[in-house]
Amino acid sequence: MLKVDKVVKEFNGFRAVDECSFEVKKNTITGLIGPNGAGKTTMFNLIAGSLKADQGEVYFSDQKVNSFAAYKIARLGLARTFQIPKTLKKMTVLENLMLVPGGQSGENIWNSWFKSSKVKAEEKENESRAYRVLKFLELTHVADVLAANLSGGQKKLLELGRALMADPELILLDEPGAGVNPTLLNKIAKNILKLKEKGKTILLIEHNMDLIMNICDRVIVMNDGKHLVDGTPAEVKSNPRVLEAYLGEKTA
């Protein structure tokens, strides 16, 4: 589903990502972990097209996407969330979701006048899709609430919901558990597992090791911009190189 091959990204001479390579298999949940400053979010930005790699290649579904704009990569079936939710605060939860599908007829002002029936039919379908997503996320009770008035955990769920409205094959989740209370964190974890059951592929950055260990099939570890190790959660948890990277000292 995803292949990163010897990717390099520099900022003013500093290598945030340093010849990093890894793969993500289809229909798996893969964790991307590492100490602060390891290059994880920069890697997400490179995969999603927000940044361009200085060297190396990124392949999504066997297609090289290095030079693609972010919107083109999204159209291929990749969606992402952000560590700090980027909700449209003055719109309702439902409106945030309905805005996502691309190529809506209502975006053309003339269609509102001359093809109003088509516009209304599309809006009705988008509304139905949005309610299905809200039901999946257990957010139907806040459908008409302004996004600005949601709790931090609810905003994380809304971020996930907006990604789902794009019906992606691969979802990049940037710290979905950050700042979330245990109840909502458990709900997010269950939703991620349900997405795998639906055939989705997930790559997530997360500092909550319990979440990583409980839901991931494999874990990739980055340190100093490099690929350090990867393996099952149990293998990574006990790896001396991982312990050294996190603790900052050599282990026996």
Query: Are 121 and 183 found together in one domain?
Result: no
State the DSSP H helix or E strand holding residue 16, giving kind and residue range, or none if neither: strand 14-24
Domain hosting residue 144, numbered range: 89-149
Domain boundary among 101, 117, 149: 149
Query: Are 79 and 193 found together in one domain?
Result: yes
Query: Are 72 and 125 found together in one domain?
Result: no
Q: Tell me if 69 is assigned to some domain.
A: yes
- Does the pLDDT at position 18 exceed 70? yes
- Does the pLDDT at position 110 exceed 70? no
Look up the pTM and report it. Answer: 0.87
Query: Are 184 and 232 found together in one domain?
Result: yes
Structure-token pair, residue 106? 């209502």
Query: Are 169 and 226 found together in one domain?
Result: yes
pLDDT of residue 124: 85
Q: Tell me if 39 is assigned to some domain.
A: yes
Classify burial at 124, counting beta carbons within 10 Å of its beta carbon; exposed 0-12, middle 13-18, buried 19 or more.
Answer: exposed
Q: What is the mean pLDDT of residues 215-222?
A: 96
Structure-token pair, residue 3? 């292949």
- Does the pLDDT at position 115 exceed 90? no
User: How many domains is the chain built from?
Assistant: 2
Query: Are 113 and 172 found together in one domain?
Result: no
Confidence of residue 113 (pLDDT cuts 50, 70, 90): low
Q: What is the mean pLDDT of residues 231-240?
A: 90
Q: Tell me if 241 is assigned to some domain.
A: yes
Q: Tell me if 120 is assigned to some domain.
A: yes
Strand partners, 225: none
Query: Are 82 and 137 found together in one domain?
Result: no
pLDDT tens-digit map of 179-201? 888 888 888 899 999 999 999 99
Q: What is the mean pLDDT of residues 205-215?
A: 91
- Does the pLDDT at position 250 exceed 60? no
Report d(CA 137, CA 63) in Å as an integer.
Answer: 31
Query: Are 64 and 188 found together in one domain?
Result: yes
| Beta carbons of 219 and 239 less than 8 angstroms apart | no
pLDDT of residue 119: 63
Query: Are 115 and 237 found together in one domain?
Result: no
- Does the pLDDT at position 251 exceed 60? no
Query: Are 81 and 103 found together in one domain?
Result: no
pLDDT of residue 252: 41
pLDDT of residue 148: 94
For residue 48, give the CATH number of its domain: 3.40.50.300
Q: What is the mean pLDDT of residues 54-70?
A: 93
Query: Are 172 and 82 found together in one domain?
Result: yes
pLDDT of residue 241: 86
| Beta carbons of 66 and 161 less than 8 angstroms apart | no
pLDDT tens-digit map of 120-155? 777 888 889 999 999 999 999 999 999 999 988 899
| Beta carbons of 227 and 5 less than 8 angstroms apart | no
Q: Tell me if 252 is assigned to some domain.
A: no
Query: Are 211 and 119 found together in one domain?
Result: no
